[in-house]
Amino acid sequence: MGGFWSHVVEPGFFQSQTVQVALLVGGVVAAISAVVGVLTVLRGQSFAGHALGDISATGGSGAFLLSINPLFGFLGMGLAAAGCMEAIGVRRVRGRDVATGIVLGAALGVAALFLYFDTTFHSTSGAAITVLFGSLFVVSSSTVPAIIACASGALVVVLVLYRPLLLSSVGDDVAAARGVPVRVIGGLFILTMAVTVALSAITIGAILSTALLIGPAATALRMTRRPVTATATAVAIGVAATWVGCLLAYDSFYWPPVNHGWPVSFCIVALVFVFYLAVDLVRSFRLRRTNLPADKSNGAVVRAHPLDTLSTGIEAASASGSE
C-alpha cells in the first residue's frame, strides 16, 4: 500500500516549498473563483468574465515592463476594464458583446505590444507564457499575503451583496421593483469579478483564468439549482481540480519526457473540464434511464438546463428595461 501511495504522491510533494505555496494560493483562488463564478453564470456574465481575464493580460504584461508584481498589473488593468465596460454599457443587451469585444480586442493588441517590449528591451524572460498561461509553481511566496487579502475582499463584497445579487440575476426590473439599487450592485459585482479574474490570472494565466471562474460554477449548477448548495459544490470542485492538478503536475516530472514536469495550468484546466464532462454524462444518463414524466411534460427543460431559461429571462428582462 505504501508503495502504491508513493506513486500517487511522488516523494517530496508536501516538503517542497514551491508546492506548499502553490497549494495555498491555488486553494484560495479556486475557492473565491467558484463563489464569484456561480453568480457570474447565474447573471449570464460569463463572456464578460472571460473578457476581463484576457484584458488583464495587458496589465500583467505591462507589470513586467515596470518591474512590479504581475498581480498588481492584472488587478489594475482588470479593474480599469471593468469600469470601462460598465461605463460603455455592458448592461444593455444590445451591443453588450460588441462593447466587450471591442475593449477586449484593443487590450489584447496592447498586450502584444507590451510583451514585445518585455522580450526586446527587458531581461524578463518568458513573460508571454507566464502572463497568458501562468504557473502556480512560479508564484512568489511574497505575493501570498496580497492574494489572500484580495480574495478576502472579494468574498466580503459577495457575502454582503449576496441577496441583492441573486435577486438581480433573475431580472434587473424585478430587483429594482424590490428596491435594489441595480446599477450600483451590478457595478460592484463586475469590479469583484475583475479582482477574482486577476487572482485567477496569476494562478493559471490570463487566457485560462475563465476556466477556474466558469468551469466549477457551471459544473455545480448542472448538479443543483440551489445557489448556496451550488456555491459549496463549485468550491469543492474548484479546489479539488487545483490541488489534484498540482499533484499531477508534480508527478509528471517522472512521466515522459522524464525530468520535465507538465504545465500545472494544463493539469488544472483539464481536470475542470473532466469534472464538467463527467457530471454532464451522469446527468444525461439519468435523464434517459428514468425518463421522468415530469421531464416529458416540459420537454424543453429536459434538453436545456433550467438556467438557460433563467438567463434568457435576464436578457428579456434587461432588454425590456433598457428599451
Where along the sequence are the contacts to another protein (CB under 8 A)?
12, 15-19, 22, 65-67, 116-117, 119-126, 129-130, 135, 137-141, 250, 253, 259-261, 263-264
Minimum separation from the CB atom of position 117 to another protein (A) = 7
Round to whole Å and give the CA distance between 201 and 54: 9
Query: Cis peptide leading into 216, omega within 30 of 0?
Result: no
Q: How many CB atoms lie within 10 A of CB 15?
A: 8
Of 149, 317, 159, 314, the residue nearest 228 (C-alpha): 159
Minimum separation from the CB atom of position 121 to another protein (A) = 6
- Of 83 and 261, nearer to another protein (C-beta) is 261
The grid cell for 3 is 508503495
Residue 171: φ, ψ to 5°: 170, 135
- Of 6 and 141, nearer to another protein (C-beta) is 141
- Of 122 and 305, nearer to another protein (C-beta) is 122
- Of 120 and 297, nearer to another protein (C-beta) is 120
- Of 16 and 311, nearer to another protein (C-beta) is 16
Minimum separation from the CB atom of position 161 to another protein (A) = 34
The grid cell for 204 is 493559471
Give first-to-last CA distance, the chain, whole Å.
Answer: 66
Minimum separation from the CB atom of position 123 to another protein (A) = 5
Q: Which residue has the cell 434538453?
A: 303
Round to whole Å and give the CA distance between 165 and 268: 29
- Of 235 and 264, nearer to another protein (C-beta) is 264
Determine the angle formed by the axes of helices 17-42 and 306-322, rounding to 10 degrees.
60
Q: How many CB atoms lie within 10 A of CB 64?
A: 23
For 151-184, letters b (16+ CB in 10 Å) and e give beebbebbeebeebbbbbbebbebbbeeebebee
- Of 65 and 240, nearer to another protein (C-beta) is 65
Q: Which residue has the cell 502572463?
A: 131
Minimum separation from the CB atom of position 16 to another protein (A) = 5
